[in-house]
Amino acid sequence: MDIHPGSSVDLILLYDPLKEEASSVRKATVYDTEGDQFILSQTSPPIRKADLGKSVNITSLIRRGDQRVRCGFFGKLFDIMIDYPLNSHQKVLALSIVRTSPIETYNLRLHYRVRPGKDWSKRIEIDSMPVNLIDISLGGALFTHSKERRLEYGQELQMMYMDNDGNRHIIPSTVKRVWTPLEMRHTGLEYVAVQFINMDKDLERELGREIMEIQRAAICKV
């Protein structure tokens, strides 16, 4: 397994778009693993009880041959353990994470995600219906979607991207995750994460430029 006891990881606490909360990246160390359960050190700033049940993305830089690659998985914050036995002489605060997706290798270029502002002029649709885009990268997108037209893991989609000139571009995509946080269970919405596959090279360049523009705009606001 690429992520194992002793691994240094980034714990990304996924944001809640309904509350306009940004993603938070925190450092941790893997203490132990058993099946789909991962025991991590407490982070700084610390994970709170209010964060239990939230979705997280755990990633780590690993070495494969002469290259360093990033791999990771999605999971749920299951528990904060007050007296985890680190060894026979020491008990520490620890986090219990339950893995909810396979461990995958990330393409860092494809997975640089940005969050478009409300004034973003582009449009992405599924079945002629615009989606509420949360973030986007060259590798995929995260959005909210109505449960009335439920999407399923592994489902193949033909997403449509409309540029400033009104041109429509088809983006073949695969659904990688579908989930509903507790705070969204009464909204009729669910989170959907998709991976773009076999994107047209011209569209990839166009989308790459858009991602850079969104990044520049975000930096200018800081």
What are the start and end residues of each CATH 2.40.10.220 domain in the chain?
A: 123-221
| Per-residue pLDDT reduced to its tens digit, 11-47 | 988 655 444 444 567 899 999 999 999 999 999 889 9
| Per-residue pLDDT reduced to its tens digit, 171-213 | 999 998 888 877 777 888 888 989 898 888 888 888 888 877 7
Is residue 60 within 8 A of residue 33, CB to CB? The reply is no
pLDDT at 18: 47
Is residue 35 within 8 A of residue 200, CB to CB? The reply is no
What are the start and end residues of each CATH 2.30.110.10 domain in the chain?
A: 8-106
Pick the CATH number of 8-106 from 3.40.50.150, 2.40.50.100, 3.30.465.10, 2.30.110.10: 2.30.110.10
pLDDT at 55: 83
What's the rounded mean pLDDT across residues 71-95? 92
Indicate the DSSP class of residue 141. E
Strand order in the sheet with 123-126: 129-130, 123-126, 156-162, 168-179, 189-196, 140-146, 132-136
| Per-residue pLDDT reduced to its tens digit, 87-136 | 889 999 999 999 988 888 876 555 667 778 777 778 888 988 888 888 88
pLDDT at 1: 63
Indicate the DSSP class of residue 218. H
pLDDT at 45: 87
- pTM here is 0.57
What's the rounded mean pLDDT across residues 4-10? 92
Question: Phi and psi of 208, rounded to 5°?
Answer: -60, -40
List C-alpha distances in Å: 209 to 91, 100, 119, 215, 216.
Answer: 49, 33, 17, 10, 11
Classify the C-alpha dihedral 43-47-52-53 as positive or negative.
negative
pLDDT at 221: 57
Q: Which CATH architecture describes the domain 123-221? A: Beta Barrel (2.40)
When pLDDT is cut at 50, 70 and 90, the band that residue 9 belongs to is: very high
What's the rounded mean pLDDT across residues 78-83? 95
